[in-house]
Amino acid sequence: MRLYDSLSQEKREFVPRDGDHVTMYFCGPTVYNYVHVGNARPFVVSMVAKRYFESLGYRVTLVENITDIDDRIIARAASEGRSCKEVAEEFAQAYREDTDRLGLGRPDVEPLATEHIPEIIDLIAKLVAHGHAYQAGGDVYFDVDSWPEYGKLSKQQVSEMRHGARIEVGESKADPLDFALWKGAKPGEPAWDSPWGPGRPGWHIECSAMSLKYLGPGFDLHGGGRDLIFPHHENEIAQAEGAGYAFARFWVHNGMLNLSQEKMSKSIGNIRTLRSVLDAHRPEALVVALLGSHYRSPLEFSAELLEEAEEQVGRLRNMFRELSDRMAGAGSEEVPAVHSGSTAEPGLVPEAKPFSLSGVGEVRPPNGTTRDSDFRGRMAARRQAFAEAMADDLNTAAALAEVFSLAREVNAALAAGELGPEGVAAVRAQLAAMLHVLGLDAVTSVRDEIPPEILALAEERQEARARRDFARADALRAAITQRGYEIRDAPGGYKIVPTR
C-alpha cells in the first residue's frame, strides 16, 4: 500500500511501525457548537482507513481527540451564563450522537483534553528543560527560533511567516511567531495548577500530548483537514520533536468541503450542520457523497451531490433486495424475504462482518455454464481493481466506481438468469465485503421499517382492487410512489419496497 505523505509530499509505501498493528491519530472537533458536515469528512476518512487496514488483517488503534477547553467554549459559556464544562459536555455528546448516525463505528480512544492535564504539563516541562519554551508571566510559549526545522510540514520559511505577524494586546511573548503552550489563569476561566501557576493548556500542545500517550513515539499516521497543516500540525511536530520524541511517520490531510465555492467554516457562517444533513438524507448517502471524491481533493457540497448519492444508494439497496429475494426463494434460511403481504414483518439480512477482501469465496457456476464462468472472472477483476484502488492512497472514489460497475453487472446477470443460488450468495458476500470496507453496511440490509401511513395506503389499495375500483387503486399506487415506496403485486399479497 502507498500513502501520500504531506511532509515528504510524495506517495510512500506504508509499513506499520509495529508489524501487524496500525496506529493512527486524527484531530477531532472543538465542542462549542454542533459540528458541520465539513467536520464529518476527516471522521469518515479515519473510520474508512481503519476498516481498510482491518480488512488487510491488521489490528488498528485509532485515537481521535475532543477539545473541551478553548477560547470559543469559554466565550459561549460566558454569553449563556453557563460553565465551560456544561457547554463542552452538551456539544461533545451532540458530536458523538451525530457521528454515530453515520454507521461507521467509533474511534478506539476519544480522549478529552481536560482529562490529560498531567501529560500536557509534563510535555511542556520537557520543552522548557530542552530550551524550546520559556515562561512569560503566567504564560509559557514555544520559542520558534529555537527549532530550526519549524515550517517543514507547511513548507514555509520563518522569515516569511514573520512578515506581518504581531503580538496581540495582553500577550507577553518575545516573538510574534511564538505560540502558547500554557495560558495563565484569567478571572472566571477554568484553571489547573502547574509549575508556572494556575492556567490552562494551549490548543496545539493537547494533541501532541494525547497522541504520544496513547500511541507512543513514531506512531504511524496523523490525519486531519488541510486547514490544520498550519499552524496546528506544524506546532504539534515542533512540540513533540522539541521534547525529544519521534512523531508521526505519515501525515494525511483531507481536502476541504466547499459550499458555494467557499470553504465551509463556522467563522464565515456558511455551514450546514451534520445533524441537519442527516435529518434530510440517509446517512449512507452522505458517506457515498464524501467518498465519491478522493480524500485529498476539495469537494463542492451541494443538494445535487446528495441527491445523486441518494439515487446511487437506492440502486444498491434494490440490488441487495433482489439478491435476498433470490436467496430466500432458493430456500436459504439465512435471508428471509423483504416485506411481503399485508401483515408480515420486514425480513432481516444479518449484519455484515469485517470481511477480508482476499478471503471472500468466488462464484461457482450453477450447472457449470460458460456464462456464469465469464461472470466469475468479471467479478474477480472488479474485486482486484477495488483492492488496487484502496491500496493507492485510499482512493475511495475509484473503489466506489468498481462497486457500482459490479452492481450493474450483477443486475444484468440476474436479469439474464446467469447466477444460480450459490452464485447469488457469493456475489452478495463479495459486494458486502467491499461495502463494509467503505462503511456502507447499511446498504446491504434489506430490513426496512415500512411506515404505518404507507401500510394503510397499501391496504386501502388492496380493498380498491378487490371491488375492482382500479382508478382508485392507481391513485393510491401513485401516492405510495410519491412518498418514496413502490408496491409490487405478488400471488397472495404484495411487497412494499423503498425507492430511496
Residues 68 and 41 in one domain: yes
Instruction: Indicate whether 261 and 156 sit together in one domain.
Output: yes
Indicate whether 47 and 170 sit together in one domain.
yes
Q: Are 238 and 267 contained in the same domain?
A: yes
In a domain, 137, yes or no: yes
Say if 309 falls within a structural domain: no
d(CA 326, CA 324): 5
247 plus 323 within the same structural domain: no
| CA 316 to mean position of chain CA atoms | 20
What CATH code is carried by the domain that includes residue 376? 1.20.120.640
Q: pLDDT digit of tens for each residue in the chain (500 aa)?
A: 999 999 999 999 999 999 999 999 999 999 999 999 999 999 999 999 999 999 999 999 999 999 999 999 999 999 999 999 999 999 999 999 999 999 999 999 999 999 999 999 999 999 999 999 999 999 999 999 999 999 999 999 998 888 767 777 667 888 999 999 999 999 999 999 999 999 999 999 999 999 999 999 999 999 999 999 999 999 999 999 999 999 999 999 999 998 865 665 655 566 789 999 999 898 999 999 999 999 999 999 999 999 999 999 999 998 998 898 888 776 544 433 333 333 222 222 233 334 455 444 444 444 444 456 677 788 899 999 999 999 999 999 999 999 999 999 999 999 988 888 888 888 999 999 999 999 999 898 766 567 788 888 999 999 999 898 999 999 999 989 888 788 888 766 787 877 76
Range of the domain at 58: 2-280
Is residue 288, in this structure, part of any structural domain at all?
Answer: no
- Please state, in angstroms and rounded to a whole number, the distance separating the CA atoms of residues 255 and 228: 11
pLDDT at 373: 65
Q: Rounded distance, CA 437 to CA 427, Å? A: 16
**Same domain for 322 and 266:** no
Nearest CA to 237 out of 251, 227, 224, 225 is that of: 251
**CA 136, CA 143: separation in Å to the nearest integer?**
11
> What pLDDT, on the 0 to 100 scale, is given for residue 419?
85
Q: How far is Cα 270 from Cα 263, in angstroms, rounded to an integer?
A: 8
CB 101 within 8 A of CB 37: no
> Is there a single domain that holds both residue 323 and residue 253?
no
Contact partners, residue 366, CB within 8 Å, separation at least 6:
372, 419, 420, 421, 422, 423
CATH number of the domain where residue 38 is located: 3.40.50.620
Task: Name the domain count of the chain.
Answer: 3
Residue 163 lies in a domain: yes
Note whether residue 202 is domain-resident: yes
Whether residue 300 is contained in a domain is answered as no
Residues 8, 53 within the same domain: yes
Q: How far apart are alpha carbons 422 and 331 in whole angstroms?
A: 12
| Long-range contacts of the stretch 172-177 (C-beta < 8 A, 24+) | 172/136, 172/137, 172/139, 173/136, 173/139, 173/141, 174/134, 174/136, 174/141, 174/143, 175/143, 175/144, 175/145, 177/144, 177/145
- Residue 338 has a pLDDT of 32
Shared-domain flag, residues 362 and 488 = no
3 state SS for the chain:
CEEEECCCCEEEECCCCCCCEEEEEECCCECCCCCEHHHHHHHHHHHHHHHHHHHCCCEEEEEECEECCCHHHHHHHHHHCCCHHHHHHHHHHHHHHHHHCCCCCCCCECCEHHHCHHHHHHHHHHHHHCCCEEEECCEEEECHHHCCCCCCCCCCCHHHHHCCCCCCCCCCCCCCCCEEEEEECCCCCCCECCCCCCEEECHHHHHHHHHHHHHCCCCCEEEEEHHHHHHHHHHHHHHHHHCCCCCCCEEEEECCEEECCEECCCCCCCCCEHHHHHHHCCHHHHHHHHHCCCCCCCEECCHHHHHHHHHHHHHHHHHHHHHHHHHHHCCCCCCCCCCECCCCCCCCCCCCCCCCCCCCCCCCCHHHCHHHHHHHHHHHHHHHHHHHHHHECCCHHHHHHHHHHHHHHHHHHHHCCCCCHHHHHHHHHHHHHHHHHCCCHHHHCCCCCCCHHHHHHHHHHHHHHHCCCHHHHHHHHHHHHHCCEEEEEECCEEEEEECC
Residue 145 shares a structural domain with residue 60: yes
297 within some domain: no
The position carrying cell 453496511 is 441
Burial 99-110 (b: 16+ CB within 10 A, else e): beebbbeebeee
In angstroms, rounded to a whole number, what is the distance separating the alpha carbons of residues 226 and 223? 9
The reported pLDDT for the residue numbered 363 is 44
Q: What are residue 454's phi and psi, to 5 degrees? A: -70, -40
| Residue 473: φ, ψ to 5° | -60, -40
Walk across the sheet containing 221-225 and list its strands: 59-64, 21-26, 221-225, 250-254
Is residue 76 located within the same domain as residue 136?
Answer: yes
Question: Cα–Cα distances in Å, from 35 out to 92, 94, 98, 236, 278?
Answer: 9, 8, 8, 23, 12
Q: Are residues 210 and 81 in the same domain?
A: yes
Is residue 6 within 8 Å of residue 153, measured between CB atoms?
Answer: yes
In a domain, 298, yes or no: no
398, 415, 443 - which closes a domain: 443
* pLDDT the model gives residue 355: 46
Q: Name the pairing type of β-strands 21-26 and 221-225.
A: parallel
